[in-house]
Chains A and B, each alone.
Chain A
Amino acid sequence: MSPVTAATPAPAGDLVLRCTNLHRHLGQGEGRVHVLKGVSFEARRGQVDAIVGPSGCGKSTLLYLLGLLDQPDEGQIEINGQRMSNSDDLARTAARGAHIGFVFQFHFLMLEFTALENVLMPMRKLAKLAPGAMEARAHALLGSVGLGEKTRRLATQLSGGEQQRVAIARALANEPAIILADEPTGNLDMKNSAMVFDLLTRLAKDHGQAVVLVTHNPEIAQRCDFTRPMRDGLFV
């Protein structure tokens, strides 16, 4: 891993994420709902996939399953060829830290920390780099999202668009193979939406990462490499 400007893109087209026949129920008793009804999906390096669909169709649930934040009731998930769906919490956590970067709709920055510290956090946990190299990479990532001047600002001192850009830098911190974004522009105005989407896709493509994003925004969806519409727990 190296500062973002010196990164060497991985070969495009490699399959990094595959899920087959995913089923997921949510709720209990009479409120139990069959949210995902046998979804299969693949993501490749350098490719941006958009999952679109009406609210409640199961797109965010699918994203959390793909990100190993949740476990399917049935079906398989493979990350970099490694089957993860039946693995234990430790293995799934390790895979998240090493291979997956998340961008959430509501930024989800840690508010007591500065922009720099937020970006440093996943690197410190993975501890692959020396402290100096971590700082250099975090500065470079924040520079690449246009926040090079605001690295020492607390998350609370940043605007919504700036927070989301920090979240993108954080998602890229450990050079994950996969970036999963849950409505990354859903909470931003048009100008910031376009900026965030451009950043996300440009940086991911530059570094050969697979981007899977969930969005309601048809303009964003159209600009992705592939659009996968979902309805009632299935791709249509």
Chain B
Amino acid sequence: MSPNLRIAFRFLTAKKRAMMMSLSCTILGVGLFIVTQATTSGFESFFIKTMIGSDGALRIVDRIQDTMRSMGVSGAAGIQVRALEGVKYLEGIDEPRRIIEAVNEFAGVLGVSAVLKGDVQISSSFKLERAQIFGIDLAQHLRVSQLARKIVAGRLEDFGKSPSAALMGRVLADRLQLTVGDSFVINVRGESRRYRVVAIFETGLRDIDRTRLYLDLVEARSLLKKPTGATFIQMNLDDPKRAPALAARMVEMLHHNVEPWQLREVEWLQTFRALRISSAITVTVFTLIAGLAMFNTLAMIVIEKTKDIAILRSMGFERRDITQIFLWQAAIVLAFGAVGGALFGAAVTSAVEHVPLTISTLFKTDHFLVEWNPWHYVEAIATAVVMVMIASLVPARRAARLEPGDIVRGTAQ
């Protein structure tokens, strides 16, 4: 052990109460930072996971058409020059098969599914509801969504057995008072067809569960009178964070409008971001308090240890040794505070995770959602290190500036 570390440790243990106060503040600062990050991120990551699991990481939604305008050339009557004026978005995908083939060439794309969407009215024996049908090729769609894991009643395997098979959102089924095996009628453009609920799914996103109904793509084409084309193409990526970059490349190459999930859900993501920033500011205050407590402790030790500083300086300890001794004290408190804070944060996060909480609006959960992310621990400790070390620098430098001659003469300011 270096002499400076040895002295730092002894100085600290001699001031047990002050040291415990600094340590407690550091533990609290680090712990609460972790807890708040875990809880705010928990809801956000659950939302993102559910939303990507339902609607995919990327969607090709429209075809882009350049619009041109003609300009006459001055002095050359009858000669027109065509110039790019802007772009026009044409709804839907005309040739989904070609687009799917092209998309499959992109690295990182795990699955592609063409979806035909249409607004319909559904009637059961009891009620009439507005809904959206999603015509899908089940095999394809299972590669771009978590639909298989969201089935809460019935059997997914029955979906492909009959053209009249339908997968219905749980809220929609409840509103229509339908269960697995019940039949219902879809009304669209004056035509009515009867279908049967083979399974009920629940994504947790209420908007989806209340309006969505999956039909086989061929049946949907027939019902919606759209024998070709698709409303959008849904994709699953190995790294959803890369969606915006991949979307930009696809727009350029496919000449279609491609929406990454970050753009599609921008309102909610911004709301979560604001919440996260707000909680980060709050918890930074906790670590600021830890820094102030450390400042207080060290300032007190400097005042009480001026004589020792003079002794050390008289024995050949340099100013930087004195600075180090005080920074070591901060580092010791930080090390114990970081470990204690991480354990405290993990324990509270675990406890919070078991707190019952019923949410069924934006998404559905019956308990508090938390995210176990090692980066929260790194961020919490890094914030505490910055705060505590900055707060420690002032008393440490003050200690180093003390003149040993002034101290032994009893005139140190």
Co-complex (A, B): yes
Are A126's CB and B409's CB within 8 A?
Answer: no
B314 touches A67 (CB 8 A): yes
Q: Nearest residue in B to A180 (C-beta to C-beta)?
A: B314
Contact, CB under 8 Å: A110 / B314: no
Q: Is the CB of A121 within 8 A of B315?
A: yes
Other-chain contact of A110, B311, B319, B408, B409 (Cβ < 8 Å):
B311
- A97-B315 Cα distance, complex, nearest whole Å: 5
Residue of chain A at shortest CB distance from B12: A112
Tally the A-B contacts, defined by beta carbons under 8 Å.
75
Q: Are B315 and A125 in contact (CB under 8 A)?
A: yes
Whether, in the assembled complex, A94 has its beta carbon less than 8 Å from a beta carbon of chain B, the answer is: yes
Contact B313 A122 (CB under 8 A): no
Q: Give bound CA distance, A111 to B10, whole Å.
A: 10
The answer on a CB contact under 8 Å between B316 and A97 is yes
- Chain A nearest CB, measured from B316 CB (Å): 2
Q: Are A125 and B317 in contact (CB under 8 A)?
A: yes
Asked if A64 and B409 sit within 8 Å, CB to CB, the answer is yes
**A1 — which chain B residues lie within 8 A by C-beta?**
none
Chain B residues with CB under 8 Å of A94's CB are 316, 318
Give the distance in Å from the alpha carbon of A149 to the alpha carbon of B19 in the complex.
33
A104-B408, A113-B10, A124-B3 known; A69 vs B316 contact (CB < 8 Å): no
Interface presence of A182 (CB below 8 A): yes
With an 8 A cutoff between CB atoms, is B92 at the interface?
Answer: no
In the bound complex, do residue A69 and residue B319 qualify as a contact, i.e. CB atoms below 8 Å apart?
A: no
A109 to B308 CA separation, bound complex (whole angstroms): 8
Chain B 136-151 per-residue mask, 1 if CB under 8 angstroms from chain A, else 0:
0000000000000000
The chain B residue sitting closest to A127, CB to CB, is B3
| Contact for A90 among B13, B318, B403, CB less than 8 A | B318
Q: Bound complex: CA of A93 vs CA of B316, how far in Å?
A: 5
Per a CB cutoff under 8 Å, which of A26, A108, A124, A174 touches B311?
A108
Which residue of the partner chain A has the closest CB to B310?
A: A108
B227 on the A face (CB < 8 A): no
Give 1 or 0 for each of B316-341: 1 = CB within 8 Å of chain A CB: 11110100000000000000000000
Shortest beta-carbon distance, B362 to chain A, in Å? Answer: 58
Docked complex Cα distance between A67 and B411 (Å) = 17
State whether the Cβ of A89 lies closer than 8 Å to any Cβ in chain B: yes
Whether B14 contacts A70 by the Cβ 8 Å rule is: no
B10 touches A69 (CB 8 A): no
Q: Is A102 an interface residue (CB 8 A)?
A: yes
- With A70-B403, A108-B307, A108-B310 as contacts: A122 and B315 at CB distance below 8 Å: yes
Say whether B108 faces chain A, with CB atoms less than 8 Å apart.
Answer: no
CA distance A70 to B317 in the complex (A): 15
Chain B, interface size category, equals 20 to 34
Q: Cβ of A96: which chain B residues have Cβ within 8 Å of it?
A: 313-316
Per-position 1/0 for A48-86, Cβ under 8 A of B: 000000000000110011010111000000000000000
Complex CA distance for A70 and B80, rounded to whole angstroms: 92
Residues of A within 8 A of B47 (CB): none
Cα distance, A108 to B404, chains bound together (Å):
12
Residues of A within 8 A of B163 (CB): none
Given contacts A69-B404, A70-B405, A182-B408, contact A102 B314 (CB under 8 A): yes
Q: Which of B3, B14, B319 contacts A125 (CB 8 A)?
A: B3
Q: Is B377 an interface residue (CB 8 A)?
A: no
Residues of A within 8 A of B316 (CB): 93-94, 96-98, 122, 125-126, 174
B286 at the interface (CB under 8 A from A): no
Once the chains are docked, how many angstroms separate the CA of A233 from the CA of B405?
17
Contacts of B308 in A (CB 8 A): 110
Select from chain B the residue with minimum beta-carbon distance to A95. Answer: B316
Contact: A69 with B405, CB < 8 Å? yes
| Chain A: minimal CB distance from B302 (Å) | 15
Distance in Å: Cβ of B403 to nearest Cβ of chain A: 7
B134 at the interface (CB under 8 A from A): no
Q: Which chain B residues in 7-38 approach chain A with CB under 8 Å?
A: 7, 10-11, 13-14
Bound complex: CA A24 to CA B181 (Å):
104
Closest B residue to A170 by CB, please name it: B315
Q: Which of B389-413 contact A (CB under 8 A)?
A: 403-406, 408-409, 411
CB distance from A207 to the nearest CB of B (A): 18
**A-contact bits for B291-323, CB 8 A (1 contact / 0 none):** 000000000000000011011111111110100
Nearest CB of B to A30, in Å: 17
- 6 extra interface residue pairs, beta carbon distance < 8 Å, beyond A110-B311, A124-B6: A70-B404, A89-B318, A93-B313, A96-B315, A109-B311, A112-B10
> Which 9 interchain pairs have the tightest Cβ spacing?
A97-B316, A70-B405, A69-B405, A122-B315, A124-B3, A112-B10, A112-B14, A69-B404, A64-B405
Q: List 14 A-B contacts (CB under 8 A).
A: A26-B409, A26-B411, A61-B409, A67-B314, A69-B313, A69-B404, A69-B408, A89-B318, A93-B319, A97-B315, A111-B14, A112-B10, A113-B10, A121-B3
Residues of B at the A interface (CB closer than 8 Å) are 3, 6-7, 10-11, 13-14, 307-308, 310-319, 321, 403-406, 408-409, 411
